Structure 1
Amino acid sequence: MDKNSFIELIKAAGIVGEGGAGFPAHVKYNADVDTIIANGCECEPLLHTDHFIMKNDASRIGRAMQALGQAVGASRLLLAIKKKHSDIIPALGTELSGYGVDLFLMEDFYPAGDEQILVREVTGRSVPPLGIPLAVSTIVANVGTLAHVGAALEGKSQDGKPAPITDKILTITGEVGTPGVVRAPLGTSMVDCLEKCGGALPASPVFIIGGPMMGRVVEGLDGLASETVTKTTGGLIVLPAGHYLHRNATLPLEVVRRRAASACIQCRACSDICPRGLIGHPLQTHTIMRAFAAGNELSEAGAKAMICSECGACEHYACPMGMAPRRINQAIKRELRAQSIAYEGSKEIVEEKTAFRDYRKIPVPRLAGRIGISHYMSLETPFKGDITPAEVNISLRQHIGAPSQPVVAVGDTVAKGDLIGAIPEKALGAQIHASVGGKVLEVGSHVRIAVQ
């Protein structure tokens, strides 16, 4: 398949990056690079979604990498996976070798799955600050994304139509009746996902959508009721109210500022452990803390917050005083964007800063202890099956860029896989498809469909 045909197939299938913010894959893959890295590192503790995908969809991943490699001219195809996944590595390596894909085995450290950390680990190159892997001739693709590319290729070869994304694999774990991995149609209520795994155990639960380090905290079942499965949903973690991660996420920002002013000891631990700093980026979180404490966050020092990946290593692991540097960086970034202030500092890699990388990688078991989730790490998460909701509420914005424009109306009948949201003209976006067959009940920022 030539490059243009491959890109059009990806676009038609509505494929986006599933490991992060959902960048439209047809734009990301429209490049020429020498290396493709499949990201199977499962960066966040407690999530087992990528492990399940690699175990069950290895041939689709291999086929996708082979096709992508041919389209972009890559000479190296690698799947990065942690050594601890010894139960699937032999079979995975055998399957992928037939597609010209090699395994790259990694230690169990955080954040191994951050794409810029992964690029440095695999290639020895550092992506420039505020840059993307294309800057160093590399594409990083989550294994879930690649599995959907493989499915699209299969559909194209069978009936001439690429299979679109209609469902998502996700992990449900923590304080639940029966933790596990489920497959859910896009737009499925997160409450339905929770109930598939036995419901929440605490009387007053809180939820993290995503992983414990970078996920979004939702309070109570009422809050969860408005949440639905999207193309980038990786997991749902249930915790008791008052857990450290709950308290940290809900601490008022003014309290965070006062703590920074009164208790930050400028020890540099946040800067020294910063994964982005350790690949040579000019990010010094302790100076950002100082600027924020003084109310001077829109200064040149504060603008360095734009380099932050928000991985939380500084906040949840490094700081001896219980400060919240990640939340501070997030707040500064919001304000900088609101005022259209750009980072104008150096974008050069300071190679000397990388000398301590191997000694400052954060062991995941130790990290789990710091954030109070160690007792969930050994929970088994078997496949619990497919969720069959009575209705779905599919967001038209499941990706970076402009929301998709609805192409259906209330009362329409749709089949699973039908286009319901199209990319606006001349905009960055992704196609959205019906995840179930049924009748359209509502059209707005979401399309609500009753299953028939």
Structure 2
Amino acid sequence: MDLLNQVRAAGVIGAGGAGFPTHVKLDASADYILLNGAECEPLLRVDQQLMALYPDDIIQGLAAAGRQVQAGKAIIGIKGKHEDVIRILKDHIRLLHLEDYVKVGILPDIYPAGDEQVLVYELTGRVVPECAIPLAVGCVVINAETALNVAHAAVGKSVTETYITLNGDIPRPITVKVPVGVPVKDVLLLSGIKNLDEYGVINGGPMMGSVMDAYDGYVTKKNKGFIILKKEHYLIRKKMMTFDQARIVGRTSCEQCRMCTDMCPRYLLGHNMQPHKMMRVIKYTPNDAESMKIAQLCSQCNLCEMFSCQAQLSPRAVNVWCKGKLREKGVKYTPFKETYTPRESRSYRLVPSKRLIARLGLTPFDGAAPLTEIHFDPQEIGISLQQHVGAPAQPVVKVGDVVTEGQLIGEIKEGSLGAAVHASMNGTVANITEQIIKIKVGAYV
């Protein structure tokens, strides 16, 4: 079985992002394969620790992916502040005799260095066009955990685990390896908080993550972190604002200062993304689809909303609303040029991570969250059939079947976009719906 089919069979997806199936991404030809090790979301600590602990697997996974896409060069993107990890990576690249193929590329400590279009520019000098993906400029991007999973797939190991950071206003900041399907509540309790009633939990990073309204779900391959803060914390209150509230405040308070645009990472790369114009649309022409088309260029990094706007308005929320309206009307933005050059102002409008963390009120919590071995013993796990972009996996087991860790329980139809799913623990299938397969685990059967 070649690497592409091994990755497909293992159910490898983009870890921590939208969950795009990796076998589809690697079915291409590119000049560069890039590893996104920026981990630019504040307080998350997964990728930097994985690169230090499993450098051989990650380097070999990246190199294998690079060979699959016929890339002439593989570059690991990592922030220069991680000096110890950089030294480890360089030492192991040399020990693996891959120094002619794999290089370490140093990223500035800015947000959002991990945005794949920012990453492509910082590592290669190429600008991804509007409405395009990195492949348009000869690049394929995977992250550190995905590279680790590619290496595992090459030896027949399916994706049954994910790595998650717990951080925030908690007694025990920690990073753990979690079997896919473990109840989210079991993971949250590792924080040392026993009663979450007074807390808000952000699923993901503090910038792009959203506040959870319930904790009765199950861990998926995409989970990367949970940020736990008191409900009165600015970040929780800001993220819990409804769109109607944001719209009303925006209509009455936006001064059109255009700071949201002047500091937008995509605008600074030369794109036509201009959030201040979307604030104008919501105020004066909310039914004019033509005026809101540029909203489709938004990456939803949330810098405009959480840092740039001095009035603490919600340009990102407005962009999301405009995107929804455009989908309803079937309207799409058409790029007006083919080549892009970063704006001259870019070099002095980059946002330092420490400055962002301070603005978010997270400085007291910006410490280590060490990777710690934890044994999980849930009574039941829930394997979502759609942990990825594309169609849900189709069950290949039935209620009452005994399954073992790593066994295929959901496959994708030939020719469809999706990813296979596997049992992460031994047990017995207890229930199957269109969304999830629930498995009674071990002694609890």
Residue 295 of structure 2 corresponds to 305
- Alpha-carbon distance between aligned partners in 2 of 1:233 and 1:428, rounded to the nearest angstrom: 20
Structure 1 residue 275 displacement after superposition: 0.2
State the Cα distance separating 1:56 from its structure 2 match. 1.4
Q: Does 1:341 align with 2:334?
A: no
Q: In the alignment, which residue of structure 1 is the partner of 2:58?
A: 61
- 1:130 to 2:127 alignment: no
SS in 2 for 1:70: helix
Deviation at 1:192, TM superposition (A): 0.7
Q: Which amino acid aligns with 2:161?
A: D
- 1:187 partnered with 2:181: yes
Residue type of the alignment partner of 1:339: K
Give yes or no for contact 1:288–1:297 (8 Å, CA) kept in 2: no
Aligned to 2:69: 72
Paired position in structure 2 for 1:84: 81
Helix, strand or coil: the match of 1:383? coil
| Alpha-carbon offset, residue 298 of structure 1 | 4.2
- The Cα of 1:449 is off from its aligned counterpart by 0.7
**TM-score normalised to the size of structure 2?**
0.95
Of 425-434 and 250-259, more deviation after overlay is shown by: 250-259
Aligned to 1:277: 267
What are the superposed Cα offsets for residues 217-255 of structure 1, whole Å, 9 maximum, x if unpaired?
114xxx11x222111110011011122222222222222
**In 2, Cα distance between equivalents of 1:78 and 1:201:** 44
RMSD (Å) for aligned C-alpha atoms: 1.6
What's 2:151 paired with?
A: 150
Q: What residue number does 1:244 align with? A: 234
How far the C-alpha of 1:107 sits from its partner, in A, is 1.7
1:246-294 CA distance string (max 9 Å, x none): 2222222222112221110101100000001111111111111100122
Paired AA for residue 162 in structure 2: K
Q: Distance in 1 between matches of 2:380 and 2:336?
A: 50
Alignment partners' CA distance in 2, 1:130 and 1:218: 30
- Aligned partner of 1:139 in structure 2 is 140
Pair 347,191 (structure 1): closer, same or farther in 2 beyond 3 Å = farther
The gaps in structure 2 that reach 5 residues or longer are none
The match for 1:46 is 43
Q: What's 2:351 paired with?
A: 362
Q: Deviations over 1:183-231 (max 9, x none)?
A: 1110111111122232357651110111000012114xxx11x222111
Letter of the 2:113 counterpart? A
Alignment of 1:437-448 (within 5 A): 437-444=426-433, 445-448=435-438
Structure 2 equivalent of residue 390 of structure 1: 379
Conservation of the 8 A alpha-carbon contact between 1:282 and 1:349:
no
Alpha-carbon shift at residue 101 of structure 1 (Å): 1.4
Q: Does 1:378 align with 2:391?
A: no
Match of 1:318 among 308, 313, 321: 308
User: 1:177–1:200: 8 Å Cα contact kept in structure 2?
Assistant: no
Q: Map of 1:217-256 to 2, 5 A cutoff?
A: 217-219=211-213, 223-224=214-215, 226-256=216-246
Is the Cα contact below 8 Å between 2:10 and 2:158 reproduced in 1? yes
Q: 2:65–2:150: 8 Å Cα contact kept in structure 1? A: no
Distance 1:144 1:169 in 2: 8
The answer for the alignment partner of 1:26 in structure 2 is 23
User: Shift in Å at residue 349 of structure 1?
Assistant: 4.2
Which of 155, 158, 164 is residue 170 of structure 1 equivalent to? 164
**Structure 2 residue matching 1:392: 3-state secondary structure:** strand
Task: Tell me, in whole angstroms, the C-alpha distance in 2 between the residues paired with 1:39 and 1:174.
Answer: 24
**Contact between 1:214 and 1:312, CA under 8 Å: does it hold in 2?**
yes
Q: How does 1:73-112 map to 2 (within 5 A)?
A: 73-97=70-94, 98=96, 99=98, 100-112=101-113
Amino acid at match of 2:284: A
In 1, Cα distance between equivalents of 2:413 and 2:203: 28
Show structure 1 runs of 4+ deviating over 6 A.
none
Corresponding residue of 1:399 = 388
TM-fit CA distance, 1:425: 3.8
Distance 2:194 2:93 in 1: 38
Q: What CA distance in whole angstroms lies between the structure 2 residues aligned with 1:407 and 1:338?
A: 35
Letter in 2 for 1:182: V
Is the CA contact (8 Å cut-off) linking 2:201 and 2:211 kept in structure 1?
A: yes
CA distance in 2, matches of 1:110, 1:402: 32
Q: Which residue of 2 aligns with 1:214?
A: 208
Counterpart contact for 2:165–2:369, Cα < 8 Å: no
Q: CA deviation at 1:41?
A: 0.6
DSSP 3-state at the match of 1:194: helix
Q: Cα deviations across residues 132-188 of structure 1 (Å, max 9, x unaligned)?
A: 0100000111010000111112x2xxxxxx211000011011122311011111011
Quick one: which amino acid aligns to residue 107 of structure 1? P
How far 1:332 sits from its partner (Å)? 1.4
Contact 1:21 1:400 in 2 (8 A): yes
Quote the offset at 1:357 in angstroms.
Answer: 1.7
C-alpha distance 200-282 of structure 1, shift in aligned 2 (>3 A): farther
Shift of 1:104: 0.7
8 A contact 1:211–1:235 mirrored in 2: yes
**C-alpha deviations, 1:387-424, integer Å up to 9, x for none?**
33222111111000011111111111101111111113
* Structure-2 separation of matches of 1:356 and 1:201: 47
Using the TM superposition, name which of 111-120 and 193-202 deviates more.
193-202
Within 2, Cα distance between the matches of 1:49 and 1:261?
A: 39
Letter in 2 for 1:392: I
Alpha-carbon displacement from aligned partner over 1:308-336 (angstroms, at most 9, x marks no partner) = 00000111110111110011111111222
Match of 1:409 in 2: 398
TM-score scaled by length of structure 1 = 0.93
* In 2, Cα distance between equivalents of 1:379 and 1:66: 29
Determine helix, strand or coil for the equivalent of 2:83. coil
Change (3 A) 1:80 1:261: same
The 3 A distance-change label for structure 1 pair 386 and 93 is: farther
| 8 Å CA contact 2:130, 2:335 repeated in 1 | no
Aligned residue in 1 for 2:318: 328
Mapped to 1, the partners of 2:358 and 2:139 lie a distance apart of: 34
**1:427 paired residue number:** 416
**Residues 244 and 372, structure 1, Cα contact 8 Å, conserved in 2:** yes
Give the whole-Å Cα distance in 2 for the aligned partners of 1:357 and 1:103: 23
1:291 lines up with 2:285 in the alignment: no
Change (3 A) 1:252 1:273: same
In structure 1, the gaps of 5 or more residues are 156-161
Q: Secondary structure at the match of 2:323?
A: helix
Choose the corresponding residue for 2:14, options 13, 17, 26. 17
Deviation of 1:355 after TM superposition, in Å, equals: 1.5
Match of 1:159 in 2: none
